[in-house]
Structure 1
């Protein structure tokens, strides 16, 4: 069976630390696969905040997640501090990918990697919107 392969950028312009709570764990005692995406979602919200935006207001439009792919590399446990790194890449007319990597801070052990596809969305008109030029200009030469 073919496995998902996630290629990461050489550089991540953002990183944040997130401690794993008991509520992130599953019955096996490690990070639950569905809750991994909640950790990544928190990192994404922090990333946008670091850029001066919210997920509902990027130069007047918001974002919606269009797809997500992830690959586990090792287990993660309650109380561990994750370093989540994120970047913006592969822009289209309406969105981009947000590749990310999660490592355990103390050891540097890679826990997971992935990418989240986003599209920009005009919530007032309830339709997709073009990538705001100011946002795109931050990442493209």
Structure 2
């Protein structure tokens, strides 16, 4: 069976540190696969905040997560500090991918990488919305 392979750009413009808690661990004593996405979700909230947005207000529209893909690279353990880097790419008319990479702060070992598809959404009309141009422009290749 083919495994998911996620290619990342050399640079991801945003980074944040998140400490792993006991509640992130599973019975095997390492980061639980489902809870990895909660760590990435927290990083996503911080990513939007760093740009002056919230997930409910990106130039007047919100976002919804449409899909997610991830690839594990190593275990992570209670008390370790993860550095989650993130950026946006692969823009379409209504959404884009948020690419991310998570490494352990001290050793720099890569723990996981992935991409989360987002779609812009007008919560007032309950319909998808075009990608805000001001958001897209921040990730244009310079």
TM-score computed with the length of structure 2 as normaliser: 0.98
Give the match's secondary structure for 1:88. strand
Name the CA distance, whole Å, in 1 between partners of 2:10 and 2:99. 11
Quote the residue 1:12 is aligned against.
12
Quote the residue 1:97 is aligned against.
97
Quote the residue 2:42 is aligned against.
42
Name the CA distance, whole Å, in 1 between partners of 2:120 and 2:10. 25
Q: How does 1:1-141 map to 2 (within 5 A)?
A: 1-141=1-141
Instruction: Count the aligned residue pairs.
Output: 141
Unaligned runs of 5+ in 1: none
- What does the per-residue CA deviation read over 1:63-111, in whole Å, with 9 as the maximum and x for residues that have no partner? 0000000000000000000000001000000000001000000000000
* 1:113 Cα deviation after fit: 0.4
Give the match's secondary structure for 1:23. helix
Indicate the RMSD between aligned Cα atoms, in angstroms.
0.5
Name the CA distance, whole Å, in 2 between partners of 1:56 and 1:75. 33
* 1:140 Cα deviation after fit: 1.4
Give the match's secondary structure for 1:87. strand
